[in-house]
Chain A
Amino acid sequence: MSDLAALVVQQSVNGLYLGCLYVMVALGLTLIYGVLNQINFAHADFVTVGAFTAFFVSARLAGRALGLPDTAAYLLSVVAALGAGALLGLLINVAVFAPLRERGGELRPLIATIGVSVLLENGQLALFGPIPFQFDSPFSRQTIRLGPIFFTAQSLLVVLMAAASIGALYAFLRLSTLGKALRAVALDRETAGLMGINPGLLIGLTIVISSALAGMAGALLGPVLVLTPFAGASVVVKAFAIVVIGGFGNLEGTILAGILVGIVEAFTVQYLGSGLIDLVVFGLLLVMLAVRPTGLIAERREENV
């Protein structure tokens, strides 16, 4: 393999890994949009809360108090982050989405979640301070080598977890009765209600699933990012871009766009410098909005009335 080809493959691998992280964050956003036609702006901060939960569980609790080995402690922390995300999802549904659903309007819930986001971010800032935490994953220390290509066990774990989450989500939506009911609610909430489906319950479930994914993504992102209260915000603005590029509410589009943005980011770092990532990603977003606002995979036409 020539040096250039090796470099391209290496950066594509890096991009795939980043893309998988973004997909896990973006899937929740797109899922909520698909079922609820709402954006949860605080999704970012669920990622951060997940990352901090994982940090404290793996570094403080599991390692020291329970005496677990490193790898088990980290995996436990991923589960804890998932739970923290699910809990936050439950709370935001009860506090914001459910009460505002009856009153209607599309902007109010969005504005309320912006408030929750600012509150969570700065609450964590008050708790943890702006100095980054050193969050080590035992998997980051192991390097896997395939010919000229290198990657860490952490990136393999991320790709596997992303694949597993996507697989589980699809199996749930396509195969289980609950998943079918959920798709029915997404399609037409009122009719689904007439068929004996409780839309409120399923909307709550969607938000909990999405938030749990965000929390888990936080645990996986923690060792990669600089862990500060602003960690999630930096990822989620990209996740918003991904959701729009992929088409709001479109799962396949979101997965495709997430991996695309990951790869674009990897090559931007290689050729233009890491400072320009946000510029390139949001440039892509604005071009996409100007050219093809329905997203990469146009599933349905935009409604006119």
Chain B
Amino acid sequence: MKLRMGAAVLVVALLPLVLQTPYWRGILVLCAMNVLLALSLNLVLGYAGQLNLGQSAFFAIGAYVSALLVKNAGWNFWLAAAAAVAAAGALGLVLAAFAARLRGHYLAIASLGFAVITYQVLVNWESVTEGVRGIYGILPPPGFGSQLALFYLVAGIAVVVYAVLDNLVRSPVGDTLRAIREDEVSAASLGIGAAKWKAFAFGVGAAIAGLAGCFYPGFVGTLVPDAFNFVESFSMLAMVVVGGMGTMAGPVAGAILLTFLPELLRGVGEVRLIVYGLALTLAVLFLPGGIVQAWTALRRAR
């Protein structure tokens, strides 16, 4: 495990040396962010088994809270980021309060409603968010002005988050979450309070998505509500499902594939979401375990 982790870190460190153009380095930063987002959703969906379609809301909170605190209140970026992560996590707990009472389809719709409401607040609360006009001239975190530095920062954070989550899901906490996913009633009979652990998964998942959000505005330079439409939740869903939900490597593989594949197909046109839709449908129908399942099958065959 340590060996594989080391190899992954080495690949991450060497990648920008292979992809040297600003365009591809930009894609690398985006990819690192997507890995974080996919990991965040996977904790809730893959391990706790809660279909959460509101993950884009937490990404939005991270982005807007951190950017606004820096721009309007003059906070230090890292302090603002900490506040944004806390805000996203707190909002995750609010959604968890719904998840404690609702299951399956009801939760899917409630979380979708959550994402729609967050998006509408960003559009309508113009005195703070500037609405659809957007916020311009947002600077990257101090000291991470170049895309290369920003990539190392976000990728480094993604590696740390991966390591923490990997330990978490192999600990008894992971077993608890999986028990809730498989059968909530049986889990309750074993003395597992599902509501508490769902709140934990939603809170941590939301905080990680918020953390990814902190780096987004400085990377793009502008902040508009459309970047956080509920369709973005579907993108994260596609990454998790295509990679293989409920595994640690899956969402990472899914995020990498679905970030790079549309770029490679750019010659055909603006196909990002077509690729996502197709990949998501085909994965559910023919490869429910995602890339991870295909990988294990291949290794067994050899």
Let me know if A131 is at the binding interface, CB within 8 A. no
Residues of A within 8 A of B146 (CB): none
B273 and A286 within 8 A (CB) = no
**In the assembled complex, which residues on chain B have CB atoms less than 8 Å from the CB atom of A283?**
117
Do A33 and B285 have beta carbons less than 8 Å apart? no
Closest-CB distance, A234 to chain B (whole angstroms) = 10
Is A282 a contact partner of B113 (Cβ separation < 8 A)? yes
| Cβ < 8 Å to B, chain A residues 78-135 | 95-96, 99-100, 103, 106-112, 114-123, 125-126
List A residues 261-281 near B (Cβ within 8 Å). 275-276, 278-279
The answer on a CB contact under 8 Å between B185 and A279 is: no
B interface residues with partner A (beta carbon < 8 Å): 49, 51, 53, 98, 101-102, 104-106, 108-110, 112-114, 116-117, 120-121, 123-124, 185, 230-231, 234, 237-238, 241, 269-271, 273-274, 276-285, 288
**What separation, in Å, do the CA atoms of A278 and B230 have in the docked complex?**
13
Q: How far is the CA of A305 from the CA of B183 in the complex (A)?
A: 9
Chain A 240-257 interface 0/1 with B at a Cβ cutoff of 8 Å (1 = within): 110110001000000000
- Chain A hits for B234, CB < 8 A: 114, 117-118
- Give the total of A residues in contact with B, Cβ under 8 Å: 45
In contact, B270 and A282 (Cβ under 8 angstroms):
no
Considering only CB atoms, which chain A residue lies closest to B114 in the complex? A286
Residues on A facing B (Cβ under 8 Å): 33, 39, 95-96, 99-100, 103, 106-112, 114-123, 125-126, 237, 240-241, 243-244, 248, 275-276, 278-279, 282-283, 285-286, 289-290, 293, 304-305
Across the interface, which residues of A come within 8 angstroms of B109, CB to CB? 39, 240-241, 243-244, 285
B117 in contact with A278 (CB, 8 Å):
yes
Nearest-neighbor residue (CB-CB) of A119 within chain B: B277
Task: Tell me whether A99 and B231 are in contact in the complex, defined as CB-CB below 8 angstroms, given that A106-B105, A118-B280, A286-B98 are known contacts.
Answer: no
Provide the residues of chain B in CB contact with A116, threshold 8 Å. 277, 281
Please state if B185 and A114 are interface contacts (CB–CB under 8 Å): no
Nearest CB of A to B96, in Å: 13
